């Protein structure tokens, strides 16, 4: 079994931590909104940078010591199963659904730093359904795939926010798996005019994965 590297050992290694770079004007607005607001909502199609940018900014602030931890969550309603019926321990149950966010953090931090922060409990994953009653201070709190939340669930998540924390809530309203109006859309309607709450709407032109993807999604969803 390999020994965990200390932070000093990691810092002496050749790897470097990457920073977020906006590729489009709306992505630049998204980054600015996260910096300037305590709560930020971001909507847009798959691949437009919602989760990637949120992960990158959170990783940068964690690495600089501006915050104590990053909390990442998402709803599991799209599995069609209750959490308890899924195999394994809690982290085993949610791991497949949080893999994209894990890969984002590894991209920005590198595997060594990511492993260090994860083992120290500074990057934490939890299903939204078990967060009630918690309070997170000096944290970046990221709720991904929020289009599959009710507005009551999103309210519960926001109210976990303690002193010195920021909340980032992402989702694609057009891709909800709920048999009702997305809670993300409902809560944006209620909160978007409040001071300290930012709203960014990314679009097909912000997709950076592959040039054709934006055109395909635009054709399929409109």
Mean pLDDT by 10 residues, the chain (222 residues): 58 74 95 97 93 96 96 73 58 75 95 94 88 93 94 94 97 86 92 94 83 65 65
| Angstrom distance (rounded) from CA 20 to CA 6 | 25
Architecture of domain 37-221 in this structure: 3-Layer(aba) Sandwich (3.40)
How far apart are alpha carbons 185 and 187 in whole angstroms? 6
Q: Identify the pLDDT of residue 12.
A: 57
3-state secondary structure of 171: strand
pLDDT of residue 85: 59
Q: Given this model, what pLDDT does residue 192 score?
A: 87
- Nearest Cα to Cα of residue 147 among 42, 221, 64, 72: 42
Instruction: Say what the pLDDT of residue 87 is.
Output: 58
What's the whole-model pTM score?
0.85
Please, are residues 6 and 25 in contact by the beta-carbon 8 Å criterion?
no
């Amino acid at each position: 079994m390999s020994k965990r590297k200390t932070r000093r050992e990691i810092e002496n290694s050749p790897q470097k931590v990457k920073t977020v770079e906006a590729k489009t004007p709306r992505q630049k607005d998204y980054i600015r909104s996260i910096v300037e607001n305590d709560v930020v909502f971001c909507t847009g199609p798959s691949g437009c940078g919602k989760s990637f940018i949120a992960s990158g900014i959170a990783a940068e602030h964690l690495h600089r010591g501006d915050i104590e931890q990053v909390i990442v969550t998402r709803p599991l309603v799209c599995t069609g199963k209750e959490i308890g019926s899924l195999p394994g321990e809690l982290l085993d149950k949610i791991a497949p659904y949080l893999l994209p966010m894990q890969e984002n953090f590894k991209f920005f931090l590198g595997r060594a730093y990511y492993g260090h922060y994860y083992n120290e409990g500074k990057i934490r994953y939890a299903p939204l359904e078990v967060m009630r009653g918690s309070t997170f201070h000096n944290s970046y709190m990221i709720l991904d795939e929020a289009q599959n939340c009710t507005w009551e669930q999103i309210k519960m998540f926001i109210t976990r926010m303690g002193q010195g924390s920021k909340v980032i809530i992402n989702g694609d309203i057009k891709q909800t798996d709920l048999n009702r109006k997305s809670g993300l859309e409902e809560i944006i309607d209620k909160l978007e005019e409040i001071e300290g709450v930012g709203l960014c709407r990314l679009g097909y032109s912000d997709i950076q994965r592959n040039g054709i993807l934006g055109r395909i999604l635009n054709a399929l969803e409109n």
